[in-house]
Chains A and B, each alone.
Chain A
Amino acid sequence: MTEPSRTLDSGRQENLVEVEDLKVYFPIRSGIVIERHVGDVKAVDGVTFEIERGETLGLVGESGCGKTTAGRAVLRLLEPTDGHIRFDGQDISHLSGGDLRRLRRRMQMVFQDPYSSLNPRRNVTSIVQEPLRVHGIAKGAEAEERVQRLLEVVGLPLNAGNRYPHEFSGGQRQRIGLARALALNPDLIVADEPVSALDVSIQAQMINLLEELQDEFDLTYLFIAHDLAVVRHISNRIAVMYLGRIMEIAPSARLYERPLHPYTKALLSAVPIPDPHVESVRERILLTGDLPSPRNPPTGCRFHTRCPFAQRERCPDEVPELRRLDTGHTVACHYVEEIESGRITGRTLDTTDPVSVPG
């Protein structure tokens, strides 16, 4: 489905990351003495996207959508059950050993929880220089000097090196994590909910820092989050996931102005906006019911059980393909055109009257 990545004049691939039909299944085992494989949690169930060099791709979705799993798969912290992952043209889906370790130098991760993502028994210098030592890049005084520079870059006080993680605030710990991620000068950083655990006024500092660093170090970001407003702000393009599948991919501005997938519409309308006037006049699409569990996802289109536009034909039994439209959107929905043209109208699930839902 993806077009092969074009090689630019410089010889570098245009797409830094290409994910093709990625599946990550976690086996469910049950049994008393011997455990048997009784099923799978299909955390990621056929996901395809590219990340262009230098861009920020936002990956959004609610619980159980698989975005964190997808992020970890891209980093090869997990092995894909099926599908392919290509990094800078190279298929990394099943790399192991030394090759995998060398790959790690080019892709790093920033974690959500500033409290558990740093080894509590090591000091900051030890944490940040470990990547350098593990890959034999620097040690001793040289390593310490590089650590100092990194700490400076992320805005930590100079004497932070001797301190231990628990002596820092959440925002500062995230900075330490960022310094660690930058130590190897990677091409790609996967940021998994990097600001969700931070206070509102600290979030902005962190977001700005991430943006500055992207420019300064020529980084490519995969920005995973559930907070659409944050993702929208920092991303060039956004991919929306639901229950292990991608529903829509589009440039940020366009996704907001004109969401095509019903789930995207609902998601956007649910995000609170800090403006009472806007809140009182905006149209809401309230989804009913809960998010289904990834252990037992609906058949056909994963979203059809809660979709205000779901039709009886195709939706419950046929999985929609991700299609690239002329508008620049990539959408997985059988009836996008009909919904856009108004031929199919949405309805709230507890009345039988069709309700016209604004596009």
Chain B
Amino acid sequence: MSIAEAQAAELSLERPSGLWRDAFDRFRRNPAALVGVSLVLIFTIAAIFAPQIAPHPPNQQVGPLSTNPAGPGGGHVMGLDEQGRDLFSRLLYGARLSLLVGIVSVGIGLAIGLVFGALAGYVGGWVDTVVMRVMDLMLSIPSLLVAIGLVTLLGRGMVQIMFAVGVTTVPIFARLLRGSILGQREADYVLAARSVGVPGRRLLLGHILPNSIAPVIVQATLTMATAIIEVAGLSFLGLGPGDPSLPEWGKIMADNANRLESAAHLVLFPGFAIVLTTIGINLIGDGLREAIDPKLKS
């Protein structure tokens, strides 16, 4: 190889950068994504350090019982609820629940959905047909109804709720991964790996999956947001966690829906919490998609 070639080659190489590193850099430079990260960070810190941050325990009565609870002021940043409990403290502890819900239900959805998706996408044939028809069936029923059904069946504990919501996300991940795998399965580099003699399992785990997982990651973040909303929705419908003392955001809103005129703060503040958290997660999800996508195309 001539000097010219070597030089030309050197010119194009700076420091080694994997696709993940590039994606991370792009993500870092995306202002919207950073806003999302900030929001979610606040929410996460609130959740983890609730005991340290909260001025009062979530279920302690620190004010008068009242049908017309006081709004913000008098030492209570967000006011009191009808049982005299500090709303701010309750919301902080509620953040824990929402964080847990987001992570656990998406975790369940991923665990089951990825297996189905990989089977359907990689094995193909009748396995694919059967799995996909089942997923179609699940998707044809509104997820909230599925969740309601499961909760009714299993009971109203937090665990059951997270499971129910998690199950509703399975078809989304399964479909997504299957589609992604189908796209990668016929790619030249996979054929190249086959021609080299790479056996099936290694092909899937070492080549296809790493290149198929990106859209799933993006979807997982967005699904966390919808999971949180769904649990709030269940609470709103009266199917939330049975324990009345749990400061689940949606439940707080539901319990006080009829007090909108007199004690709007009891609806608005938890509502804001849900909205801000969801926006934060969505911004991260979008940022991830933008960061990862350009390379997916090349």
Known: A157-B13, A163-B16. A117 touches B197 (CB 8 A): no
Enumerate chain B residues within 8 angstroms of A169, measured Cβ to Cβ: 12
The interface bits of chain B over 1-27 (1 if a CB of A lies within 8 angstroms of the residue's CB, else 0) are: 100011001101100111110000000
The A132-188 residues at the B interface (CB cut-off 8 A) are 134-135, 155-157, 159-160, 162-164, 166-169, 172, 177, 180, 183-184
In the assembly, what is the distance between CA of A167 and CA of B20, in Å?
14
Cβ A166 vs Cβ B13 within 8 A:
no
How far, in Å, is A275 (CB) from chain B's closest CB? 28
Cβ B9 vs Cβ A117 within 8 A:
no
The A81-140 residues at the B interface (CB cut-off 8 A) are 101, 104-105, 108-109, 111-113, 115-121, 123, 130-131, 134-135
Cβ B211 vs Cβ A120 within 8 A:
yes
Q: Describe B's contact surface by its main secondary structure.
A: helix
25 contacts between A and B (CB under 8 A): A72-B191, A77-B194, A77-B195, A104-B197, A111-B192, A116-B188, A116-B189, A120-B189, A120-B295, A120-B298, A121-B18, A123-B18, A131-B196, A134-B197, A135-B197, A155-B5, A164-B17, A164-B18, A166-B19, A167-B12, A167-B16, A169-B12, A172-B9, A177-B192, A183-B196
Q: Which of B17, B187, B196, B210 contacts A108 (CB 8 A)?
A: B196
Enumerate chain A residues within 8 angstroms of B5, measured Cβ to Cβ: 155, 205
In the assembly, what is the distance between CA of A131 and CA of B192, in Å?
10
The A189-248 residues at the B interface (CB cut-off 8 A) are 205
Enumerate chain B residues within 8 angstroms of A134, measured Cβ to Cβ: 196-199, 202
Q: For chain A, which range describes its interface: under 10, 10 to 19, 20 to 34, or 35 or more residues?
A: 35 or more
Known: A117-B188, A123-B18, A155-B1. A160 touches B197 (CB 8 A): no
User: Is B156 among interface residues, defined by CB-CB distance under 8 A?
Assistant: no
Interface residues of A (CB under 8 A from B): 72, 75, 77, 101, 104-105, 108-109, 111-113, 115-121, 123, 130-131, 134-135, 155-157, 159-160, 162-164, 166-169, 172, 177, 180, 183-184, 205
In the assembly, what is the distance between CA of A119 and CA of B197, in Å?
15
User: Is B112 among interface residues, defined by CB-CB distance under 8 A?
Assistant: no
Q: Closest chain A residue to B187 by CB distance? A: A116
Cβ A117 vs Cβ B295 within 8 A:
no
Cβ A180 vs Cβ B9 within 8 A:
no
Q: For chain B, which range describes its interface: under 10, 10 to 19, 20 to 34, or 35 or more residues?
A: 20 to 34
In the assembly, what is the distance between CA of A101 and CA of B198, in Å?
8
Enumerate chain B residues within 8 angstroms of A162, measured Cβ to Cβ: 16
Enumerate chain B residues within 8 angstroms of A159, measured Cβ to Cβ: 13
Enumerate chain A residues within 8 angstroms of B17, measured Cβ to Cβ: 164, 167
Cβ B191 vs Cβ A115 within 8 A:
no
Cβ B197 vs Cβ A101 within 8 A:
yes
Residue among A163, A177, A180 having the largest count of chain B Cβ atoms under 10 Å: A163
Known: A121-B210, A121-B211, A123-B18. A168 touches B195 (CB 8 A): no
The B221-278 residues at the A interface (CB cut-off 8 A) are none
Known: A121-B19, A123-B16, A130-B198. A156 touches B192 (CB 8 A): no
In the assembly, what is the distance between CA of A75 and CA of B202, in Å?
20
Known: A121-B211, A131-B197. A166 touches B295 (CB 8 A): yes
The B152-204 residues at the A interface (CB cut-off 8 A) are 187-189, 191-199, 202
Enumerate chain A residues within 8 angstroms of B188, measured Cβ to Cβ: 111-113, 116-117
How far, in Å, is A209 (CB) from chain B's closest CB? 9
How far, in Å, is A290 (CB) from chain B's closest CB? 26
How far, in Å, is A139 (CB) from chain B's closest CB? 14
Q: Which of A115, A130, A135 contacts B298 (CB 8 A)?
A: A115
How far, in Å, is B162 (CB) from chain A's closest CB? 32
User: Is B28 among interface residues, defined by CB-CB distance under 8 A?
Assistant: no
Residue among A77, A116, A121, A164 having the largest count of chain B Cβ atoms under 10 Å: A121
How far, in Å, is A212 (CB) from chain B's closest CB? 11
Can you add 11 more A-B contacts, CB < 8 Å, to A120-B19, A160-B9? A104-B195, A108-B195, A108-B196, A117-B191, A130-B196, A134-B196, A134-B198, A157-B10, A164-B18, A166-B298, A167-B12
